[in-house]
Amino acid sequence: MLIKSRNASDVLSSEITPKSVFEKRRSFLKTAAFAGAGIAAGALPTLPAYAARTPLSGVQKSKWSAESLPENDPITDYEDVTSYNNFYEFGTGKRDPKENAQEFKVTPWEISVEGACMKPGKISFEDLIKPETLEERVYRLRCVEAWSMVVPWVGVSLASVLKKFEPTSDAKYVAFETLFDPERMPGQRQPVLKWPYKEGLRIHEAMHPLSILGVGMYGEVMPNQNGAPVRLVMPWKYGFKSIKSIVKIKFQKTIPPTSWNDAAAREYGFYSNVNPAVRHPRWSQDSERRIGEIFKRKTLMFNGYAEEVASLYEGMDMRKWF
C-alpha cells in the first residue's frame, strides 16, 4: 500500500486533546449515539437518511458487544476513527477522506447482486436498514499499515443478505465493487489504483457469521469517509479487504481480481488474513498501534478471531496463501 509519510496535519486528535477532555467527549458521544439508537425502534429516522450523524433506529445488541472485548481493548475515539482514513476515492492522505467526502451524496443507493445465483437483483439501502436486521458488532479492524481501531459498527449479516439471491453451486467466490463516478469521487480522476476499487472473498468467508455489511458506526449512519452508505467489515482480515461504498456484488466461479493485488501482487495477496508471522515485504506485521494510543500492541493471529475463523483455512499454507 502506498504510504504517505506522516506530516503535521496527520496528528491524531487524541494526541492534541488533553486526556480529560478526550474522555469526556468520548463518553458524551457514546451516550448520544446509544440514546439515538434506542429511539422509536421500528421507525426509520425522519431526517434524510444521510444527514451527518443521523442515528439508526432499532439497532439490536449482538454477542459481539463492547463487554465481549478484553478490558485493555477500549472502543476507539469517534474523532480518530472518522478523521484518519484510507479511502483513495477521496485522496491518498489519511486526512483527505474526511475533508473531501462531505459532499458525497449517497441517497438513493442500490447494490446490484448478480452472477451465479438464482435470483439476481438489487438491494437498496432502505432494504438493508430494516430495524429487525441491524446489529451492533464491536469489532477490531487492523490495517496492513499497522494501525488498528475498535469500532462499534452497525451492520447486517452478509450471509443473510447473500442468501436472498440464492447463490448456486458455481458461486465459489464473491466479488465486490465500489461506485465508479469520478464526478462524485474526485480521487478517481487520478490513476492511483485501477478504478473502481475491487475486492473479493471466498464464498465460505463471505458466509461466515462474523462477516457483515456495515451501514453505520457508533449507533449512527456510516460517515462518508468511512465508506457510506454500505461497506464490508471483515474483522479478521487486513483493513483493505473491507471495501467501501459498494454498488456491485457478483457470485462467481473464479477468483476475483482485487485492487491491491492488481497494484502490487507481491505485497497484497487475495486472502490477506491478519497474520503476525507473515511479514509484509517492507515491514513487520507483528505489532500495531491503535489510533489514539501511544504504545504498540502485539498483533494477534486472525486479529484475535482465530477461534471463530481458523477452521476456514485448515490445511492451507498461510505463507503461500497470504
The contact set with ligand MTE (CB under 6 A) reads: 1, 85-89, 143, 178, 197, 226, 239-240, 242-245
Residue 263 contacts by C-beta under 8 Å, 6 or more apart in sequence? Answer: 193, 194
| Residue for grid cell 509519510 | 5
Q: Which is nearer to ligand MTE, 36 or 216 (CB)?
A: 216
Q: Is 263 exposed, middle or buried (0-12, 13-18, 19+ CB in 10 A)?
A: middle
Closest separation in Å from C-beta 247 to ligand MTE:
10
Fill in the DSSP letter of residue 117: B
| Residue for grid cell 503476525 | 276
Closest separation in Å from C-beta 222 to ligand MTE:
9
Q: Which is nearer to ligand MTE, 33 or 116 (CB)?
A: 33
Q: Which is nearer to ligand MTE, 90 or 313 (CB)?
A: 90
| Residue for grid cell 431526517 | 47
Q: Tell me the three state secondary structure of residue 153.
A: strand
Closest separation in Å from C-beta 152 to ligand MTE:
13
Closest separation in Å from C-beta 143 to ligand MTE:
4
Closest separation in Å from C-beta 289 to ligand MTE:
13
Q: Which is nearer to ligand MTE, 79 or 116 (CB)?
A: 79
Which residue number places its CB atom closest to ligand MTE?
A: 239
Rounded to whole angstroms, what are the CA distances from 255 to 205, 252, 260, 321? Answer: 13, 8, 14, 13
| Residue for grid cell 468467508 | 205
Q: Which is nearer to ligand MTE, 80 or 135 (CB)?
A: 80
